[in-house]
């Protein structure tokens, strides 16, 4: 491609230039769980952070020297990590178990990496059941993270069987 070819507006290769500037990246396996999710934007944002393993759990904060307290605030029995919090913790496991049963999925809750792999394999399609699973997964991750933060920063505790009547809204909180 010469400079004359680039400046010829009849055959301007915008797609090629865009691809050249953008570069080539490997697609993540869980992209359909996030991109095709009809849940609230804030739920999807937290799900994306967890799927990328970028959420600031206490085990990560300890590695950075920010805290010495690594105890899970939900069960107070283990080190808080992504795999523990979603869904090995007694608190989150009880919630996830009920939601799996509600969706008629007959299996036990697994650690986060296994849940993510299961969801990629079984809930990436366009069926109603897959769409509901993606929404429920995003909502569960969000509300477990919200409960964790409320226990740490506001000293508020809810039982795993309490319902949250807050609605999904696009307004700022």
Neighbours of 40 (CB within 10 A): 17
Q: Are 114 and 108 in contact (CB under 8 A)?
A: no
Distance, CA of 138 to CA of 117 (rounded, Å): 15
Give pTM, 2 decimals.
0.80
Ranges under pLDDT 70 in the chain:
1-12, 160-173
pLDDT of residue 124: 84
pLDDT of residue 113: 93
pLDDT of residue 152: 93
pLDDT of residue 125: 87
């Amino acid at each position: 491609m010469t400079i004359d070819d680039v400046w010829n507006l009849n055959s301007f290769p915008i797609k090629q230039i865009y691809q050249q500037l953008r570069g080539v990246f490997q697609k993540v396996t869980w992209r359909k769980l996030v991109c095709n999710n009809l849940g609230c934007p804030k739920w999807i944002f937290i799900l994306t952070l967890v799927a990328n393993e970028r959420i600031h759990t206490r085990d990560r904060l300890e590695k950075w020297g920010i805290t010495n307290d690594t105890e899970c605030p939900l069960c107070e029995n283990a080190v808080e990590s992504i795999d523990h919090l979603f869904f090995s913790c007694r608190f989150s496991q009880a919630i996830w178990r009920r939601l799996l049963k509600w969706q008629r999925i007959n299996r036990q809750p697994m650690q986060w990496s296994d849940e993510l792999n299961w969801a990629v394999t079984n809930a990436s399609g366009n069926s109603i059941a897959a769409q509901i699973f993606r929404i429920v997964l995003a909502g569960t991750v969000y509300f477990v993270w919200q409960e964790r933060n409320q226990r740490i920063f506001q000293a508020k505790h809810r039982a795993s069987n309490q319902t949250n009547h807050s609605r999904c809204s696009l307004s700022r909180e």
